[in-house]
Structure 1
Amino acid sequence: MAEHLRELADDRALLGRTSTAERVSDILRSRISEGYFPPGTRLSEDSIGGALGVSRNTLREAFRLLTHERLLVHELNRGVFVRVLTVEDVEDIYRTRRLVECAVVRGLGEPPYALEEVAGAVAEGRRAARKSDWKALGTSNIHFHRALVALAGSERTDELMRSVFAELRLAFHVVDDPRGLHEPYLARNQQLLQTLQEGRRDEAEQQLAVYLDESLERVVEVYRRRVGQGA
């Protein structure tokens, strides 16, 4: 926790002179999506406010925004915690992903497509795998799907999916074998990238739909075993 607070203090420069609750929530959302604050973590107002150099009121408003996004939960007389997802939450996350991500690919115009960021996320994943850094591989996988969504060129869609992908990271934290979860998707990301590079949009959409359905099945299986919900 202390190490993460020191890293969080490095984010203070992002606030600039116009520190706002929205910018604080952006920073915390990013930290949650990168896996720095696992589900169930209590977020200390004093520690985080001190690390970012913001007032208690500003931080509380940021917490409120992230609670509205279902990333945090306020427990009376206990404080604010990173949310622990249920099986139903995970299923809904993937339902949203399938609706949005497949629609983005389906809606692509004529090739060639601007796939630099998508390719960059695949390369990032390869580097993480070579280092056996499975947490970083999971992060690169989220970056891959964020880059896919960005192909729509829609700020509203990007904003919607930022919260969804941050929630997805909360689901990944429950997985006891991150290598087993993330490593197979590195090859599938490469395959999907290649299909798009070749301009085969319809085939790419089909690949993505199967990809997401199988990922949901695996994550839910882990959830039911580890969290004991559903089934």
Structure 2
Amino acid sequence: MNASTATRPPAKAPHAHSSAWAADLLRTQIASGELLPGSKLSEQALAQSLGLSRNTLRESFALLDSELIVTRIPNRGVFVASPNAADVREIYAVRRTVEPACLAWGPELDAAALDSIIDTARAALLAGNVAAMADANQAFHRELVRTSGSELLQELMGRVLARMRLVFHAMSDAPDFHSHYVEQNATLVGMLKAGQRAEAAQTLREYLDMAEAELLGHITEHSTPE
């Protein structure tokens, strides 16, 4: 999908902080899977559709480049990033630090919201809808971080989830990757309901270790010349 068709902003960019606004919009579209790894972002088309100057859009690209969500290649343009093994390790280093802490101590825990996400994930699993399972998984981990009550942590998680979505695309030929995490997420919610927050946090750390190892194994296997 190209950038000009993927970008459908709800309104023109506000004059204040418009480069940050555009970066957030593009980050959200990457996190939702609307913009895929390797997609070229047309500066002219995006500037026109977002109502921004090209200089302002370049500021947005610079911000996303600093977050490793896009890659700027001289004389070629700006592309949605394609994460490698080092990116996976960095992502999971952040996730292992932030998410278990939110499980253990987040003051705004909403078990009902997590239950609703689990229901959506189970329906996607029954339907064999891999994309919907990935969406539900993203929503589950976003909700975990929302329990912190910290806007700064939620902003950080938005960046991490955008990069995670790019990693998920590397698993497109392993459709069962998401399926075994549906019930693991449900197990975490059960522990939270039982008041076992510290135990849930430890379980999540182990779960993230397992997911990282699976992703790294897959990337290594597919990057090794035959």
Compute the TM-score of the two structures, normalised by the length of structure 1: 0.88
Aligned equivalents of 2:200 and 2:102: distance in 1? 11
Consecutive unaligned residues of structure 1, counting only runs of 5 or more, are none
1:35 to 29, 33, 44: 33
Consecutive unaligned residues of structure 2, counting only runs of 5 or more, are none
Contact 2:106–2:149 (CA under 8 A) maintained in structure 1? no
Aligned equivalents of 1:124 and 1:17: distance in 2? 38
Per mean C-alpha deviation after superposition, the further-off stretch among 13-22 and 216-225 is: 13-22
SS at match of 2:175: helix
Is structure 2 residue 204 aligned with structure 1 residue 176? no
Q: CA RMSD in A?
A: 2.1
For residue 167 of structure 1, what is the aligned residue in structure 2?
Answer: 163
2:112 to 116, 137, 150: 116
For residue 222 of structure 2, what is the aligned residue in structure 1?
Answer: 226
Is structure 2 residue 190 aligned with structure 1 residue 191? no
How many pairs were matched up?
Answer: 225
Is structure 2 residue 81 aligned with structure 1 residue 87? no
For residue 8 of structure 1, what is the aligned residue in structure 2?
Answer: 7
For residue 148 of structure 1, what is the aligned residue in structure 2?
Answer: 144
1:36, CA displacement in angstroms? 1.6
Per mean C-alpha deviation after superposition, the further-off stretch among 100-109 and 55-64 is: 100-109
Contact 1:138–1:178 (CA under 8 A) maintained in structure 2? no
SS at match of 1:80: strand
Is structure 2 residue 101 aligned with structure 1 residue 103? yes
1:199, CA displacement in angstroms? 1.3
Aligned equivalents of 1:14 and 1:223: distance in 2? 39
Aligned equivalents of 2:10 and 2:165: distance in 1? 23
For residue 26 of structure 1, what is the aligned residue in structure 2?
Answer: 24
Misfit runs of 4+, over 3 Å: 4-7, 14-19
Deviations 1:138-164 (A, max 9, x none): 121011001001111111111111111
